[in-house]
Amino acid sequence: MKFKLRDGWEITIDASWDFRWKRMCESGRLAYVIMLNTGAVYAYPFGLGGNDSGKLCDSLWKAHIYLLSVGSESPWEVVE
């Protein structure tokens, strides 16, 4: 399956080279998914990035699936 970033969402990179997927114009602390520079991927339901509520996921795809499974939005949408 392929997926792409939804309209109204963006990827930012912080000083530590961590990637953060969040809604445009929101703080990086409100990220839904954070991929650390080590490659670890954390999903944060409802954009609570930075809190201890993140779930370690094996991949970006699994982060997407996890967010949807708990009723949260995901930064991505599936494309054919």
Q: Classify burial at 44, counting beta carbons within 10 Å of its beta carbon; exposed 0-12, middle 13-18, buried 19 or more.
A: buried
Q: What's the pTM value of the predicted model, to 2 decimals?
A: 0.89
- pLDDT tens-digit map of 31-54: 999 999 999 999 999 888 665 678
Q: Classify burial at 1, counting beta carbons within 10 Å of its beta carbon; exposed 0-12, middle 13-18, buried 19 or more.
A: exposed
> How many angstroms separate the Cα of 42 from the Cα of each of 27, 33, 62?
17, 6, 10
pLDDT at 30: 84
80 residues of the chain, pLDDT tens digit each: 799 999 999 999 989 999 999 999 877 678 999 999 999 999 999 888 665 678 999 999 999 999 999 999 999 999 97
